[in-house]
Structure formats: structure tokens, C-alpha cells
Amino acid sequence: MIKINPKPFIDKQKEIDKLIRKVKSQRYRKRIAEFVIDLIYKRVKSGYGVTSDTSPAPSKTRLLALGETAFVNAKSVARARYIRQRKRANLGPFGTPSKSNLTFTGEMLESLTSKITGNGFIIDVKNTRRNKGNLTNKQVANHVSDNGRPWLALTLTEQRIVLKEYERIVRELTRGFR
């Protein structure tokens, strides 16, 4: 009969439990949430939205052209004037005057925030006043989504990218685990 000392197994189990608690901690969920915000920001600044912000796995699609939503029955002259105005506006990184970034200045995208809840997080738009006008960023976000330009969702490809990032974090934490 072989006698096995259970202490090393118990110690290893405690280390594993500690690692799991660490991975589920707010610090790492916040890191993933910021990663998701960055993905959405870059996709929208590149002129892409999603087919639906209510489906679990929407596909990536081009946002409607600036003239199609900025003007009713827009003529090319009005669209050209709008693009010239945007060239003068500060569009931030990844923004270009001829690609839609949902709003005139992209200010709404700058107000994306994350909130840690339970075992996950929520990505939302801060309900703050915009630099110009009476609307809040939240009101603008709702208006944009309701008028055929959904954007606040992750495509299936982006979901896979987030999972890969999460796996990378777990590998990083387990590197010192022996």
C-alpha cells in the first residue's frame, strides 16, 4: 500500500483557486472592458458598424454614408460642404472626414465607458452634455442607433478577438504557476 501525503495537492488546489479568483477580479475585467471599447472605437472610426445591436452575433457592415443620414434628400454639394466642415473638426485618431464616425465630431465615441457588474461588464455611453448643442451623448447614441446605424455591439470576429485576449491574460497569469 502506498501512502500519499495530501498536503502538496491541497496546496496546489489553493494556488489554483487563488489564480481563478485573480482572473475573475475587477482589475482583469476592467482590462478586457477597455479592450472592447478600443475595438468598437477603432471599428466605428474606420467607418464600420454592425447589422444589428440587438442580435448576439451581428456582422460588420459599412455605416451609412455621411450624406445619407446628415441630410434629407442631400445633394452632392451639401455632402461636400459637410465633409469640408469635418476636415476642420478634430476627429481624433483613426477618424477621416470622408468616412462616417457616427457623429460630426466623434465626440460620442470618446465618451464610451465600462462598468464592472457581477461576473462581467457593461459598455455604455456617458450621459454627459456635448460641447455644442443641448443633447447628451447618450441621447445622440440612441438617436444614431434608432435611425439605422447600429454600432454598439461586437461582431462574431470581434468576440473571438476578445476571447483570445482573455486567453492571453490567463496564460500570462499562469506563466509563473508551477
Q: What residues does each domain of the chain span?
A: 9-63+107-173
Return per-residue pLDDT of the chain as tens, 178 residues.
Answer: 788 888 888 988 898 888 888 888 888 999 999 999 999 988 888 888 898 888 888 999 888 765 444 444 444 555 566 566 656 565 566 666 556 556 655 678 888 999 999 888 999 988 877 766 677 888 878 877 777 788 889 999 999 999 999 999 888 888 876 6
Q: 3-state DSSP call for residue 129? A: strand
> Hey, CA dihedral for 151, 24, 126, 131, is it positive or negative?
negative
57 and 145 in contact (C-beta within 8 Å)? Answer: no
- CA distances for 83 relative to 64, 68, 80, angstroms: 14, 13, 5
Q: CA 170 to CA 155: how far, in whole Å? A: 23
Give the predicted TM-score (pTM) of the model. 0.74
CB burial string 133-170: b at 16+ within 10 A, e below: eeebbebbbeebbeeebbbbbbbeebeeebeeebeebe
Identify the burial level of 26 via C-beta atoms within 10 angstroms of its C-beta, where 0-12 means exposed, 13-18 middle and 19 or more buried.
Answer: exposed
